[in-house]
Structure formats: structure tokens, C-alpha cells
Amino acid sequence: MSNGTGNFTKSKIMQNTKLPHWPDDKKTLWRELQAYYETTQLDINALLSKDILRTEKLSVDTGTLFLDFSKNQVDDRALKLLIDLAGACDLKEKITQMFDGDPVNNTEKRAALHTTLRCPHNADFKSEGANQQQAQVQETLKKMTSFCNAIHSGQHRGYTGKTITDIVNLGVGGSDLGPKMACHALRVFQQPGITTHFVSNIDDTDLGHTLAHINPEKTLFIVASKSFTTQETMRNANSARAWFLASAEQKDICSHFIAVSSNIDRAVTFGIEEDNVFPLWNWVGGRYSLWSSIGLSIALAIGMDNFKELLAGGHEMDAHFSNTPFAQNGPVIMGLLGIVYSNMLNVPTQAIIPYDENLTFFPDYLQQLEMESNGKGVNKNGTPITYQTGQILWGSIGTNSQHSFHQLFHQGKHTCNIDFLLPLSSHYNLGNQHKYLVSNCLAQAQALLKGKPEDEIKQELISQGLDETEACNLAPHKVVPGNKPSTLICYEKMTPRVLGNLIALYEHKVYVQSVIWDINPFDQWGVEYGKQLCDSIEPYLKSDCNTSPKGVDPSTAQIISRYHRLKRKS
Ligand code: F6P
């Protein structure tokens, strides 16, 4: 972990980590990497100035994205060990297995084929099954296209004949975070006359506030739930339907409620016509589903052509990921650097700082993608693991973040590795604002890297007129240690293609890491446990419940009885 001086002190506990059931070559490389980072303090400034080829060696140009990894805690030796480690984990074969539809989600015996969702329509797969999946995807895209056209042209109208102006996506987790992030990111491509709303929380303030600002005659609700059992979404959908029926009739539901789900029967039971259910399949994980019909809200917001551009961007990154040697492979390098920070340097958090207002919700989206995927405690065989599987991800947009938490980056005792995301041009052209945004992003990365030593500060203060004593007293407060790692990801400006590239980049980074850690990134049993417990607690909150709660701890029990006392009073 960093001691705040820009130097990293490595935890002995990490060194003693047991590495269960790993092949010998993998164990050896892991130990070698640990030993290397234990004994070597990498000075990024020195590495950059000594090796004139460093920026070239540690940059990846995918055509749409430019990834500069050169300000990271890695040198030639470490990079070689990391790439060898990836080889020892059979990463190449594991990538092929995922793309080929092998059941990489072993606990649920499922494939993870989000990559098929963004394949061109004429892609040819090896297996008959994969070709069938591809046909289902293309059929659904056609259905989405004609629905979007009907809404945008005004052919599909509300029950009083008015055109649809408001789309409300009712979903949570993967059925909300991706579409919400993408609709915000691509606002500049917004279809005229359409406003998109996202309601996810069970807190009725979320739905209540949205309903207060829309007209049932002009609103389309999308009930987006892969399982069609998620309680937040089901309860929001029930309330939305009741609100709608307060002014309309049952027969009008078909013009105003559609569903996206793999559970067509449940959607029909809810009251949605079968024809109005857009399918998705169990080989698409929730947090990987924005490419499927879960992305219908995106397509309605930006138009189907732009949605297809988003898919093309994802596919572009898929091609880069599967065809590029590891040393030049963006998601592979990103994933391996994450191994350095998580497991070799014991850095607990990573920050995502987009200098792009369009990416306001990108850190929220990545939190589910990374932490729901790789927050695991056992390996693929179910054996407990003793090493960290990932970092806590957080972040916010620059430059706002500079005026909030960057002080801790520069002088605090914590270190976290940062991904800066930077568009090199803007959709707008307002004075010099974009230039200043770019300067700020570059300056932050530079300040973190270079730091500012005490001597230089003292001289500066003296030249500003302070006497020697004053300069000596003030200088330590102004010292910036430097040698803090960051990655810079730049692109021309935010477009559907760029966004598709970016999302797929992080998806594949997560997969790379899961392979190194030997974990399943496609299940989420911990979340399912929380849902189960919630279902068992709710009956005890009913007003007519007189039994004391069974199976709950005393702390929870006391809150339940306090809840009842308060309810009786009010
Ligand atoms: O948060 C748990 C989870 O199962 C996610 O993986 C998923 O994205 C979310 O719930 C919503 O699930 P569904 O689309 O089935 O409503």
C-alpha cells in the first residue's frame, strides 16, 4: 500500500498468501511478481525519462480509443512477468471459450455471450447453436427497429391518440445502470420530442417524482427485468400500472406497457401482451445486457441507427481483444495492471474520473460491472481464496472532482490508481472551455506523477518575497509527493461508437482479471442471498403481524419492534 509519499510499502500478508490449486508455472510467476514488487520501488518519472520508448510501448491505439498506460507502476520486467502470468492462466484459450459460448458461468451452467449481441448480422459461427443465437439476436433487433420507428414516426400512439413523448424505464441493476448511463452519455443524439426517465429504486420517491411530471396519455413504460421477479421493478411496475389505470382502461395497457424479459410468461401474467415482450436470453448476464433489448430505452432515445453504432463500437473492441497480442491488447494490459494494484501493491481502491460530462453515470455503471462480477471469495471450484479479487471502484467527473476529493490524491496518505477519460474535442464550441478542460485533465495526471519537492517550493517562496524561516515553515505543507499512478483513455468525442468501445473495454478487463483470479465473474450469489433475506423480513413488518421475528439477530429484531411502535403511534 502507498505510504502517501508515492512509495509503496508491500504487505507481508500478501506475500504469505496461499495459492490453492494453481499450476506450478502460474504460482511461480505470481510469487516472482510479488517478490519483484516487494523489492523494487518503481519511480515512474525516472522510468519515463530513462526509456524514450516507454510511452510507445505502454500505449495502445485501437483506432477509436487511445490508451496511455505509461504513468503506471510497471516496467519492462514487471510487464513481461504479467504477460507470462496471463499465458500461464491460458488467457488466450479462455477468451476463445467465452466468445465460442462455452459455459464459462460454471455455477449456473451458462454461456456469457454478450459479444454475440454486437456481432454483425452476417457473422458466421462454428456451432449450429451459436448460429441460432445469432438469428434470435437479429430477429430481436428487427423487432426493436420497427417498434422504435413506430414510436418516432408517431404511428404508435397513446390511448387518446397523442404521440408518445416520455419513456419510463422501470428496471434495476443491469436493467437500469447501463441504459441510464448510455442515454445520458449520448444526449446529443437524442431523438426530438422524446424524454427518457429511469426509475429503479423501491423508494417510492423515485417513481412518485417521475409520475408527477408526466402525462399517462403520452407515456410508454418499459418493464425491464431479465427475471421478471426482481421486487423493486415488479413493485414499481405495479404502482405505475395502478397510476395509469386511474385515468385509462385495462384495454389501453397494450399501447403503454411493454416488457423486456427472458421470462415471457411472467410478463404476460403481469398484463403485457406477448407481442409487446422483447426477449433476452439466459446467456446474457444482467450487467452485460445493455446490448440486448434491455437497451430498448437507449434505442428509443437515440434512434436505432445510433444504437447499432453502439453495438458496432462494442464489436470493434471484441475484435481488438480477441486478435491483438497481449502486449498491445488494451483490456489485457488494463486487467493486468489491476492485478498489480490489487495483489502486488495492495491498493484498495481505484477511481474513474471522466473529464466528460456525458460520462456522469459511468462510474456508477462500472461499479456493478466490476464489483458484482469479481467480488468473489471462492475460485471456480468453490475453494476459498486468500487473495483480493478486485478493488473498490468509485469516481466522479472532472473538473468537479478536483474541487472535491483530488486533494487526497495529491497529498493524502491513501493512494489509488486512477483512470482519466478524456474527449479531445467537444460537441459544442463555447469559447475556450474545452481547451481548459483538456488542460485540467492533463495537469492533474501530471501533478500526480511529478509531484513537487520541498527544495523547489522553498526557492519559489523565497523568490516570492518570503524570508528563509517563513519559507521553511510553509514549504512542507506544499509538498506533493508524486509518483502516483494513472491511466489516460482518450477519444475524439463522445459518440455511440466510442461508448461501445469503452464499455466493452471494461467488460473484457473484468474477464481478464477473473481468469487470473480463477473466479466466475458471471454469477452473483451474495446479491441473491440479500434478496432472500429481504423476502423473509417483510412479513414481520406487516401491521397485523404479532409474532416475534424468527431467525433474525437481536439487533434486527429491535429495529423491527421499533418500526411497529412508530407505526402504532402514527
Ligand atoms: O443485482 C442483482 C441482479 O440480479 C443483477 O445482476 C441484475 O442486473 C439485477 O439484479 C436486475 O435483475 P433483473 O433484470 O432480473 O430484474
Q: How many CB atoms lie within 10 A of CB 455?
A: 10
Chain segment 190-206, per-residue pLDDT in tens: 999 999 999 999 999 99
Query: Is the pLDDT at 11 greater than 50, yes or no?
Result: no
Q: Band of the pLDDT at 10, cuts 50, 70, 90? A: low
The pTM (predicted TM-score) of the whole model is 0.95
CB-ligand 1 contact for 286 (6 Å cutoff): yes
CA angle 266, 295, 181 (to 5 degrees): 120
564 is catalytic: no
> Please, which residues bridge with residue 221 across strands?
168, 257
CA nearest ligand 1 atom 1, residue: 173
Mean pLDDT, all residues of the chain: 94
Q: Band of the pLDDT at 487, cuts 50, 70, 90? A: very high
The whole-number average pLDDT for the span 499-521 is 98
Query: Is the pLDDT at 299 greater than 90, yes or no?
Result: yes
Question: What is the percent of the chain where pLDDT is above 70?
Answer: 96
> Please, which residues bridge with residue 349 across strands?
392
Atom of ligand 1 nearest to the CA of 527: 2
CA nearest ligand 1 atom 9, residue: 173
CB-ligand 1 contact for 373 (6 Å cutoff): no
Chain segment 232-245, per-residue pLDDT in tens: 999 999 999 999 99
Q: Where are the beta strands (DSSP E) in 78-132?
A: none
pLDDT of residue 544: 81
Chain segment 332-360, per-residue pLDDT in tens: 999 999 999 999 999 999 999 999 999 99
CB-ligand 1 contact for 266 (6 Å cutoff): no
Q: How far, CA to CA in Å, does 60 sit from each of 37, 42, 46, 326, 331?
A: 24, 22, 21, 11, 10
pLDDT of residue 12: 46
Please choose from 263, 524, 528, 535 the residue to mutate so as to test ligand 1's pocket, defined by most ligand atoms within 8 A of CB. Answer: 524
Q: Band of the pLDDT at 129, cuts 50, 70, 90? A: confident
**Amino acid sitting at position 436:** Y
Residues 65-92: b if buried by 16+ CB within 10 A, e if exposed: bbbbbbbbbbbeebbebbbbbbebbebe
The whole-angstrom separation of Cα 504 and Cα 178 is: 12
Distant-in-sequence, close-in-space partners of 475: CB < 8 Å, separation ≥ 6: 454, 457, 458, 461
Catalytic residue among 12, 109, 213, 403: 403
Residues 528-546: b if buried by 16+ CB within 10 A, e if exposed: eeeeeeeeeeeebeeeeee
CB-ligand 1 contact for 233 (6 Å cutoff): yes
Catalytic residue among 232, 309, 372, 507: 372
Q: Band of the pLDDT at 7, cuts 50, 70, 90? A: low
